[in-house]
């Protein structure tokens, strides 16, 4: 009988916390803690694919880009190369730590990191309305110069009065490149780390040439496309809360532990979940179930082994209870 396959999307707090400097020691410590929690799935015999975020890390790479150009005249690398850079660095860190934890627990599994590209539509409406803030915060004089020199687009920082930040499109992921290879490696028992930061957005031109664009892809949406593409049984989105909540942070807050597809759509239409944080995760989980996945679970890494924790989304509420 074929083993179950799980795709696990690591949230930002799995690697780095908001109140930290982002030193390699901090990132390695959080990564090790998260991977210890993933051992539950390994011990249960799951085949495993791991994805991860890269927001703070690729932001730091972009700022190093700026500093290198301004101070030393080093040519800046484009955004796709910076995303690839972050995928390689973070993937290496996760792989090395995963190998050490498997060794400590006397578990024999191979771990491999793949820099992942994700196909997008070059005519995606997102290209007409860039919204994703990246990189450093600039003053008015700086952005006027950069707009002229580089053609970048800026919006005010979300922190009022804090300056302007570059914005880029966030197109919808269509297809994961090398999907068959990823699936084959995972089904043979290898732990695969890929699609970091949502993957590198690419598209094919009229001549079939693979092109890149200055854009970023939502990590959870790309992970959902990946999970559906490999026919995963379960899709885990790890975040910093144990459950999904309705009216989070308000007196009317309510924990939503079991959700079917119909109720999930209803809550999304009502604007129950915050657009910048939980809503994209809900959409990603919902799309996985719509595309044939058994269930999607949103929780924090430390609660992964306790099956009573986490919000579960499935096609029908009754089908989840019966499993």
In angstroms, the CA 129 to CA 302 distance is 37
Which pLDDT belongs to residue 317?
54
Catalytic residue among 116, 219, 293, 310: 219
Q: Establish whether 287 is a catalytic residue.
A: no
Count the residues in the chain.
323
- Please name which of 288, 286, 287, 296 lies closest in space to residue 320, comparing C-alpha atoms: 296
Cα separation of 139 and 162, whole Å?
8
CA angle 95, 47, 43 (to 5 degrees): 85
Q: So what's the pLDDT on residue 323?
A: 35
Q: Active site residue: 12, 53, 91, 198, which one?
A: 12
Q: Is 234 within 8 Å of 290 (Cβ atoms)?
A: no
Report the predicted TM-score, pTM, of the whole model to 2 decimal places.
0.93
Domains of the chain, residue spans = 5-122+172-321, 130-168
The answer to whether 295 is a known catalytic residue is no
- Of 13, 37, 60, 178, the catalytic one is 13
Per-residue model confidence as pLDDT tens for the chain (323 residues)? 578 999 999 987 778 877 888 899 999 999 999 999 999 999 999 999 999 999 889 999 999 999 999 999 999 999 999 999 999 999 999 999 999 999 999 999 999 999 999 999 999 999 999 999 999 899 999 999 999 999 999 999 877 668 999 999 999 999 999 999 999 999 999 999 999 999 999 999 999 999 999 999 999 999 999 999 999 999 999 988 888 888 777 888 888 898 989 889 998 988 888 777 789 999 999 999 999 999 999 998 888 877 667 889 898 754 443 33
The rounded distance, in Å, linking the Cα atoms of 143 and 251 is 41
Fold of 5-122+172-321: Carbamate kinase (3.40.1160)
Separation in Å, CA 217 to CA 204, 235, 260: 17, 18, 26
Answer yes or no: 12 catalytic: yes
Residue 155: per-residue pLDDT: 94
Q: Cα(175)–Cα(195) distance, rounded to whole angstroms?
A: 11
Could you tell me which of 292, 98, 235, 113 has the C-alpha nearest to residue 185? 113
Residue 103 neighbours by CB distance under 10 Å: 10
DSSP assignment string, 84-105: HHHHHHHHHHHHHHHHHHHHHT
Reply yes or no on whether 219 is catalytic.
Answer: yes
8 Å CB contact between 175 and 95: no
Largest alpha-carbon pair distance within the chain? 64
Q: Can you tell me the distance from the alpha carbon of 89 to that of 95, in angstroms, rounded to the nearest whole number?
A: 10
Q: Which residue among the candidates 91, 281, 287, 310 is catalytic per the annotation?
A: 281
Reference 28, options 82, 100, 103, 87; nearest CA is 100
Determine the Cα–Cα distance for residues 323 and 321; give it in Å rounded to an integer: 6
Which two three-digit tokens encode residue 50?
């791991």
Is the distance from CB of 110 to CB of 77 less than 8 angstroms? no
């Amino acid at each position: 009988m074929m083993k179950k396959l799980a795709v696990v999307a690591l949230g930002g707090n799995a690697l780095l916390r908001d109140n930290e400097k982002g030193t390699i020691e901090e990132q390695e410590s959080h990564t090790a803690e998260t991977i210890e929690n993933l051992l539950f799935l390994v011990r249960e015999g799951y085949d495993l694919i791991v994805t991860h975020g890269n927001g703070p890390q690729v932001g730091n790479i972009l700022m190093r880009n700026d500093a290198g150009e301004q101070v030393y005249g080093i040519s800046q690398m484009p955004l796709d190369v910076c995303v690839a850079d972050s995928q390689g660095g973070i993937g290496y860190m996760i792989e090395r730590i995963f190998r050490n934890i498997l060794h400590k627990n006397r578990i024999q599994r191979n771990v491999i990191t793949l820099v992942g590209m994700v196909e997008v539509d070059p005519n995606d409406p997102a290209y007409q309305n860039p919204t994703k803030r990246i990189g450093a915060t600039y003053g008015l004089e700086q952005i006027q110069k950069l707009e002229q020199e580089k053609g970048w687009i800026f919006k005010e920082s979300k922190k009022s009065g804090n300056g302007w930040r570059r914005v880029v499109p966030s197109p919808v992921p269509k297809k994961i490149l090398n999907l068959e290879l990823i699936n084959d490696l995972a089904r043979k028992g290898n732990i695969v780390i890929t699609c970091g930061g949502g993957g590198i957005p690419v598209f094919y031109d009229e001549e079939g040439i693979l092109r890149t664009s200055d854009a970023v892809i939502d990590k959870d949406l790309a992970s959902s496309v990946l999970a559906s593409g490999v026919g995963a049984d379960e899709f885990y989105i790890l975040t910093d809360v144990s459950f999904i909540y309705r009216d989070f942070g308000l007196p009317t807050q309510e924990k939503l532990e079991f959700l079917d597809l119909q109720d999930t759509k209803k809550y999304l239409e009502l604007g129950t979940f915050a657009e910048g944080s939980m809503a994209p995760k809900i959409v990603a989980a919902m799309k996985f179930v719509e595309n044939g996945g058994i269930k999607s679970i949103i929780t924090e890494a430390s609660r992964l082994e306790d099956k009573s924790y986490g919000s579960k989304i499935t096609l029908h509420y009754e089908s989840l209870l019966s499993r």
